[in-house]
Structure formats: structure tokens, C-alpha cells
Amino acid sequence: MNNSESSIQDALISIVIPVYNNERYLSTAIESVLKQPVKKSDDIEVVVVDDGSTDNTPMVADSYASNYAHVRVVHQVNQWIYASMNRGIDEAKGEYIYILNSDDALVDGVLSKMIDKIEEYNHPDVIWTRIAQCEVDDEQNIISIEENNVSVNQEKYFDGSEKIHNMWFFIQKSGLAHNQANLYKRELMVKHPFRNDIYGADVLFNLSIADEIKSMLFFPDIAYRFYSYNNDAMNASVGKYYDYEHEMFNEIMRVSSEIYKRWHVNNKEWFDFLVSERLKELTREIRALKYVNCSLSLHDKVKKIFTEYADPWIRKSARKVGREREYESRVLNGTRELLRDTEEVLDTDMSFVKLLVESLPDNYSDDVEKLNVDMELIDMAVQHNLNKDKIGIVYYHSKW
């Protein structure tokens, strides 16, 4: 903790800023809070959690704590971002928590609006807020802006479990539950701390609190600017391979499905949506094998696709909504893309994969021209012992 304790004992909103080695942009994040016009300055506090930074980040943070009574700094050994968020939540004094990444910014004037809404709607459990994804240069000059959550275009308040259950599909489909950039009552966040082992912990957090939300508000204004740098090296979590992604995405879909089933939501549109999202993530997993931090050999990458990513549970789910062929197509076309982008040679025991992908039409949405395909060889490839989920058995024997 810094040597000057905040004089604020009962803030309304605590802005938690986790930071690690970000001396360059931390000031922008903090200033985006400090310059917010609010009627009562002690309604807001800033809690910066320095996660064992080795650059000048601690000094930058401490300088703000020395000059502003409502800024506090917590220093801890390096534990990763979600542990930093949890620490900030534990240290915060506010009734509400809003988490701000150290290289992003709040939109001007948003805090006073949220304070007004807290009072107007009698302190709802969650205020869901929108994000603008901003492509920026190294100086954080905005190059382009893409607004997220565009379907959230009206201020709407809901209370009572039934109303919230009925709106949960909209919350997921609109993207509001895809991150932690929302205003939450601190008591919810203390009860459901973030996991610190996967990058999708924010999504799972929103799922973990779903049963306990009794009142909520859709806030239609853009509240948060997420900065994506046109220099890829500046984007800490983008363009990286994570060996836990497959199980993480499966868990998100499973937990989501369990919520709808527990709530007896009969509209099956939600299941088609979850399957559709999971299939997109399957393509994402395969493409991640090409990232430079993935040290697997080509043989091990392809083996991983056909023994792990080709997942009978995903197939079964896809079959229920008529997407089984799409499932196989994503595995096959993703593998072809991987093979085309490397000079490595596939080992002999994986040669069956070449048979499967070389027979694909150039346009993934086209049907197979079976006259030009040796179906006997295809069937042998489908039955290969390393083709665990028999990829191709539907794709080569059906049409879109």
C-alpha cells in the first residue's frame, strides 16, 4: 500500500486499474477518471494495483496517490491480471466496481451519468455498459472507431429473476457479457472472484453471477474505450497461442447451456447461438496454432487438431442444430490453411490429413465435386486411427 491512505471511506464507485509494466499509458487511464466531472469528488475512488512492475510504473502510480486523496496504490508481487483485479476489488471501498485496463480509457462524462442512473434506479446490481474499440497509434491517437454492443440502443431497467432470465440471451448475443467492462456491485465481485488461469475469466465471471442478479440496467452510451494498437507488439494478449483455449471455450458453452436449462428457457435459439459461437472459436483455435509463440511442430499441430480440437462433444452439439457439416468444414479448412502457410513437411503417419484437405473445394461453402474425388481413399482417411472423431464422414457424404 502507498504511504498515504485515502480519506474516502464510502465511495460510490471504485475504479480498479490493474497494471503491469505500463509506465507509458497508465497516466492516460488514470487521467480519464480524474477529469470526470462529478458533483461530489468523494463519490469516486481510484485503486491502482501494481502487479510487480519492473519499469517506472510504481513511481507513476505513487505520484498520483501523493497528489490525489482519492487515488490509492497497491503493490504486489507479479500474479497476472485477474489476481490484480481481485486484489483491487478486495481493497476497494466503493459500493460499485468498474475495472479499467491500464492502456484504455473511460469516455468523458460517463461516471456522472452512471451515478445519476444508480440513484434513479435505486442501486441496481449491474449496469451493463458499451465499449468502443479504437484502433490507435503508439501515441494513442485514434485511427478508427468501431462501436460494440450496437443492439444496446435504449436505456432499459429490469428487476426480478424472470425478467432477467428472459433478457440473458440478449445480454450474451449483444456482447455485454463478453468482458468485465460493466458496473457491478462490489458484493457480487467479492463473492465471485475472477479465475486467474485463463484469459476468458471475465466471461466466466459474468456467467457465475447470472443467478444472483436481481436488478440491472442497460446503459446505451459508450462508456469505455478499448485501445487496439496498430503495432501488434503493443497488444499484450492478441495474436498468441494458449494451450488451454479448447477446454476454456468448451467450459464457457457448457456453463452457458446449464444456465438456460436451469432457468427453463424454452427458446432454443440460445442453443443455436452458443453452437455457432463455439464453431467460430474452433476456427480461432486452429488459426492460433500459426502464432509465433506456438512452438509445436507441424506434426504435433495437426495431431492436436485431429485428436483434441476435433471434439465429439462439439460434433454432438452441432448435430442438434444442423451444423455438423459446418463443424467438419471448420476443422478441414482450418487445417488446409495451416498446411498452406508453412514449409514444414507433414509426417507420414498424418498423411491421411492431406487426402482430406486436398479434396476440398476452393470455396469452403461449395459442395464437393465427388466425380473428382477418390471416395475410397477419403473413406480410408476418415477411418484412420488418428482421425479420432472421423472428420470427413459427414462433409464428403452430404451437401450444404
Q: Give the percent of the chain with pLDDT over 70.
A: 96
Q: How far is CA 388 from CA 290, 301, 382, 393, 398, in A?
A: 22, 15, 9, 12, 20
Per-residue pLDDT, 235: 62
Question: Class assignment of domain 13-234?
Answer: alpha beta
Return the amino acid letter for 385: N
Per-residue pLDDT, 237: 62
Closest CA to 166 of 44, 248, 318, 269: 269
DSSP string, 12-26: SEEEEEEESS-TTTH
- Contacts of residue 264, defined as CB under 8 A and 6 or more positions apart, other chains included, come to none
pLDDT-based confidence at 199, cuts 50/70/90? very high
Per-residue pLDDT, 8: 61
HEC string for 342-372: CCCCCCHHHHHHHHHHHCCCCCCCCCCCHHH
Q: Report d(CA 243, CA 39) in Å as an integer.
A: 48
Question: 279-332: per-residue pLDDT in tens?
Answer: 999 999 999 999 999 999 999 999 999 999 999 999 999 999 999 999 999 999
In which residue ranges of the chain is CATH 3.90.550.10 found? 13-234
Q: Left if phi > 0, otherwise alpha if psi is -120 to 50, otherwise beta: which for 294?
A: beta
Question: 228-269: per-residue pLDDT in tens?
Answer: 987 766 666 668 999 999 999 999 999 999 999 999 998 889
Per-residue pLDDT, 5: 47
Return the amino acid letter for 178: H
Burial string for 153-163 (b: 16+ CB within 10 Å, else e) reads eeeeebbeeee
Per-residue pLDDT, 230: 78
Closest CA to 3 of 65, 47, 45: 65
Per-residue pLDDT, 41: 82
Q: How far is CA 116 from CA 122, 180, 184, 358, in A?
A: 10, 21, 15, 60
Q: Report d(CA 88, CA 97) in Å as an integer.
A: 9
Beta strands in the chain (DSSP E): 13-19, 44-51, 71-76, 96-99, 105-106, 126-136, 142-147, 156-159, 183-185, 215-229
CA 372 to chain CA centroid, Å, is 42
pTM of the model as a whole: 0.93
* CA 279, 285, 290, 291 torsion-angle sign: positive
Using the 8-state DSSP alphabet, how is residue 306 labeled?
A: I
Q: Report d(CA 58, CA 49) in Å as an integer.
A: 9
Question: 355-379: per-residue pLDDT in tens?
Answer: 999 999 988 888 888 778 899 999 9
The helix (run of H) or strand (run of E) holding residue 185 is strand 183-185
pLDDT-based confidence at 3, cuts 50/70/90? very low
CA atoms in the 13 A half-sphere facing the CB of 19: 35
Question: 4-39: per-residue pLDDT in tens?
Answer: 444 467 899 999 999 999 999 999 999 999 999 998
Q: Report d(CA 311, CA 75) in Å as an integer.
A: 43
What does the block give as the cell for 99?
Answer: 475495472
Say whether pLDDT at 184 is over 80. yes
Provide φ and ψ at 15, rounded to 5°. Answer: -90, 115
Q: Report d(CA 386, CA 348) in Å as an integer.
A: 12
Mean pLDDT within 272-282: 98
Say whether pLDDT at 344 is over 60. yes
At 274, is the secondary structure helix, strand, or coil? helix
